[in-house]
Amino acid sequence: MKLINKISRYYLINAGIIFIVAFVGIYITLNWILTDEIDERLKIKNDEIIKRFYAGEIINNSPYVELSQIDSVFKSRGYITDTSIYLKSEKENEPFHQIISFLAKNGNNYKLTVRTSLIEKDDLFITLLVIFSITFAAFTLILFFFNRKSTREIFIPFYTDLEKLKNYSVKSGLPVNLTYSKIDEFNELNSVLNTLSEKAVHEYRALKEFSEDLSHELQTIVSVIKSKLELLLQNSDLDKVDINNLQTAYQNLSKLDNINRSLILLAKLENKDFFNSDEINLPDVIRRISTNFIDIAESKRINIITKLNSEIRINSNLSLIETLINNLLSNSIKHNIENGTVEIILSGNSLLIQNTGELFKRNTNDIFNRFSGSKNKSDSIGLGLAIVKKICELYRFRIDYKYEKDFHKIFINFD
C-alpha cells in the first residue's frame, strides 16, 4: 500500500471516530437543551393556566389542558412526565410532555394537566442532527481532498528521489544528486543515501580495479606457463608418464585460462558501452557457427539439424552474438548423448536450440548460474550459460529453459 493511501486511510478512520464521538456528544447536548427549554416553557404555561383557574376562567382544552376534580386530598405539589395520547385527527399515538399539578378551590380538589407536543421537538432534533451530519461529512470530505492534495505536494521530492534511485547505478560513478526538500526528515534521508551511494561507488571502483588487475596478472602468468608447458611437451627425452602429467597440467591450465577470459567477459558485460553495435543477420551467423561444430558433433555421433525459417536482423555486437550462439551449441553437444540430436530452430523473432540428453540432477532453476555446469562435466568451466544469460540481459532478450520429452530446450526471444 502506498504511503499517501495509508495516510488517507488513517485520516478517514480518525475522522469517522471523531464524527461518532461528536455525534453522540451533540445528541446528548441537544436533547438536554431542548428538554430543558420545553420544561421551562411548560412551567410558564402551567403558571398562567393556574392563574386563570383561580380567576374563574374555563381552561379545559383537551389534550393540551385538562382539569378534573378528584376526591382525595393531594399530597404532591406536582411533577413532570412524558406520555403518549391517541389523536383521532392523526389516527395514531403522539408523544407529549406534561406537567401535573394539584389545586384546591372552594373546598374541592382538582388535578390540572398541561401538555405540549413533542413532535416539534423531535422534528427540530432530527433537523439539527441531519444538518450537523451533512455539514460534518462535507467538511471532512473537503479536508480529505485538500489533505490528500497537500500530501501529494509534500511527497513530490520523495517520489522524485525514488525515481532517481530506481535508475541509479554505481557503475556510472556519479553521485545520486537527490532533490532538496523543505522537510527536515527528507533531507536527513537524502544525506544518508548520498553518503551510502558515495561509499558504494568507492567500493565498486576498488573491487572492479582489483578484479581487472587480478585477471590481467593471471592472464599473463597463465600465458607464460602455457608456453613453457608447450616447450616441455616438445621435448623428446620425456617418458610417457611425464608426458601424461604435462598434458594433464596443460589441459587444466587451459581450463583456468578459459575461466579467466570468461570472467573478464562477464565483468565487461555489466556495461553496454564496452561494445559497439551493428545490424547483424542472425541466420548467417548461425549457419557459420554451426558449421564449425559439425566435426565435433560427428565424432560424438550427434546429428545437427538446422531450421532457419526466419530472416532476423538484430542490432547488437557481432562478437557477443557469436559468443552467445557458440556457447549454446557447445553446451548442447557437451551435454548430449551418443546418437543424439541438436536442433537449431529460428522462427519469427525467436530462437530455439534443443538437444537430447538426460534430466539434470541439479535444480534446473540454477542452469544459468555461474559454475553450475562444472559440477557435472570435468571439461566444463560452468560459465557458458551464465555468459549467455548476461548477453541476453544486456540487450534485453528474453531467455528461458525447460526440459520436455527428453529434450533440453533453450528459448531466446529477440523482441
- Verify that 284 and 385 share a domain, yes or no: yes
Q: What percent of the chain has pLDDT over 70?
A: 87
Burial of 389 (0-12, 13-18, 19+ CB in 10 A): buried
Region 139-167 average pLDDT: 80
- Verify that 254 and 293 share a domain, yes or no: no
Per-residue buried b or exposed e for 92-109, using 16+ beta carbons within 10 Å of the residue's own CB: eebebbbbbbbbeeeeee
If you average pLDDT over every residue of the chain, what do you get? 81
Instruction: Write out pLDDT tens, residues 345-399.
Output: 998 889 999 999 888 766 666 678 765 554 555 455 567 788 888 888 888 899 9
| DSSP per residue, 212-270 | HHHHHHHHHHHHHHHHHHHHHHT-TT--HHHHHHHHHHHHHHHHHHHHHHHHHHHHHTT
- Verify that 314 and 342 share a domain, yes or no: yes
- Verify that 287 and 402 share a domain, yes or no: yes
More confidently predicted of 268 and 283? 283
What's the CATH code of the domain at 207? 1.20.58
Listed in sequence order, the residues at least 6 apart from 6 whose beta carbon sits closer than 8 Å to its beta carbon are: none
63 preceded by cis ω (within 30°)? yes
- Verify that 319 and 214 share a domain, yes or no: no
- Verify that 257 and 283 share a domain, yes or no: no
- Verify that 69 and 174 share a domain, yes or no: no
CB-CB neighbours of 73 under 10 Å? 8
Q: What's the rounded Cα separation, in Å, for the pair 246 and 234?
A: 11
- Verify that 120 and 256 share a domain, yes or no: no
Looking at residue 271, its pLDDT comes to 59
Q: Which of 346, 371, 370, 359 is nearest to 401 (CA)?
A: 359
What's the CATH code of the domain at 303? 3.30.565.10
Among 151, 181, 199, residue at a domain's last position:
151
Bridge partners (DSSP) of residue 85 are 94
Q: What's the rounded Cα separation, in Å, for the pair 379 and 334?
A: 9
- Verify that 145 and 9 share a domain, yes or no: yes
Written as one letter, the residue type at 111 is K
Q: What's the rounded Cα separation, in Å, for the pair 11 and 144?
A: 7
Instruction: Write out pLDDT tens, residues 103-144.
Output: 888 878 888 888 887 776 667 777 877 887 788 788 878 877
Written as one letter, the residue type at 262 is S
Instruction: Write out pLDDT tens, residues 184-195.
Output: 887 888 888 888
Q: What are phi and psi of 240, to 5 degrees?
A: -65, -35
Q: What's the rounded Cα separation, in Å, for the pair 24 and 37?
A: 20
pLDDT at 314 over 70: yes
Looking at residue 374, its pLDDT comes to 47
Q: What are phi and psi of 313, to 5 degrees?
A: -115, 125
- Verify that 283 and 202 share a domain, yes or no: no
- Verify that 191 and 298 share a domain, yes or no: no
- Which three cell numbers mark 192? 544518508
Instruction: Write out pLDDT tens, residues 191-222.
Output: 888 888 888 888 777 777 776 677 777 777 77
DSSP 63: T
Weakest-pLDDT range from 39-53, 102-116, 127-141, 318-332: 127-141
Residue 57, domain extent? 3-151
Among 215, 236, 268, residue at a domain's last position:
268
Among 114, 136, 151, residue at a domain's last position:
151
The total number of structural domains in the chain stands at 3
Q: What's the rounded Cα separation, in Å, for the pair 378 and 6?
A: 56
Instruction: Write out pLDDT tens, residues 221-263.
Output: 778 887 888 888 787 777 888 888 888 887 777 777 776 676 6
- Verify that 317 and 370 share a domain, yes or no: yes
